[in-house]
Structure 1
Amino acid sequence: MKLSEIKQHLKELDKIAFQLPNGKLVPSHFHITEVGKITKDFIDCGGKVRSENVINFQLWEENDYDHRLHPEKLIHIIELSEKIFKFDDLEIEVEYQGKETIGKYNLGFDGKNFLLTSKVTACLALEACGIPPVKPRIKMSDIQNSCCDPSSGCC
């Protein structure tokens, strides 16, 4: 989800809720302790220089059960951040403290809740690593008019 999208969704909500990939909700007394831009400059395993930029939200919850972040307050925090840091309309990444370490999530929306969706790693230089592309699996029973005659010796 891009920054412009979350602002639009927030305008339509009465309350904010974040849902973890396991379906549980982040406790409603969460704080957003940071809104910022993260730039990652790196070289992939194929030697190509790359750069990624994301807007980062950090969610935090503690024993402050009376605290509730309302949509208009979060819009204000986002707009203040945009003004100070001159954000582009980038994808949002969310950090949230798990049981053992901080988890990083992509952000979605289901019409009611913001969805913290799992991120995955991938090799960005498959050809340089010698990893063959994944070939599609085809059932032989799905091939009806094969140009290869079984008696031709080609298969």
Structure 2
Amino acid sequence: MKTKELLNILEVNSGKNLLFEYAPGQLVGANYHITEVKNVTIDSVDCGARPDFWKETIIQLWESPLEIGKRDYMSAYKALSILKKVDKVKPMERDVEVKFEYSNNNFHTAQLFVNDYEVSNEDLILKLGVEKTDCKAKELCGVPETVVAPASACAPGNGCC
């Protein structure tokens, strides 16, 4: 999901509670806060020595230990207000991927993609998920899409890695 799509969904559903499903059936606690919004630039080189460059928006969620047991979720309106305030200080890129950074005692820190969302009578649920790492230079390295390459396929001197 792009940042502009997220902002639009929050605007359209501003009267709803904003919930985050970080794994199937697992919700971020109602005690969450938006603690940081990052405009991130990735400037990388893949294992085939090809440069790449892109930007992302990363929104950090944190569960306050002082509010454990809280029942009322943040509204989409409040979340949008926070993001608008941030946007005035550090403008967000609109046409870039938005991710949510989150962890708890039972879930490792991860940058989660917005895979989908669901709207009910009272709630807007953003369905988050992880993506597996991948080799971007499969063609260059001769790695088939469906088969894991043996370690020797990325040996020094073969043009990959």
TM-score range, shorter chain: 0.7 to 0.9
Partner Cα distance (2:76, 2:107) in 1 = 29
Name 1:93's counterpart in structure 2: 99
Unaligned stretches of 5+ residues in structure 2: 148-161
Q: How far 1:26 sits from its partner (Å)?
A: 0.9
Matching residue within 22, 28, 43 for 1:26: 28
Q: Are 2:95 and 1:83 equivalent residues in the alignment?
A: no
Query: Which amino acid in the other structure matches residue 95 of structure 1?
Result: E
Higher relative contact order (CA 8 A, sep 6+): 2
Relative distance call for 1:133 and 1:73 in structure 2 (3 A) is closer
Q: Do the aligned residues in 2 keep the contact of 1:36 with 1:81 (CA within 8 Å)? A: no
User: How large is the RMSD of aligned CA atoms in angstroms?
Assistant: 2.1
Q: How far 1:62 sits from its partner (Å)?
A: 2.4
Q: How does 1:121-136 map to 2 (within 5 A)?
A: 121-134=133-146
Relative distance call for 1:97 and 1:134 in structure 2 (3 A) is closer
Q: Once the two structures are aligned, what percentage of the paired residues are identical?
A: 27
Q: Do the aligned residues in 2 keep the contact of 1:105 with 1:118 (CA within 8 Å)? A: yes
Q: TM-score, length-normalised on structure 1?
A: 0.76
Partner Cα distance (1:132, 1:94) in 2 = 31
Q: How does 1:133-152 map to 2 (within 5 A)?
A: 133-134=145-146
Q: TM-score, length-normalised on structure 2?
A: 0.74
Structure with more of its chain in strand, by fraction: 2
Query: Which amino acid in the other structure matches residue 20 of structure 1?
Result: Y
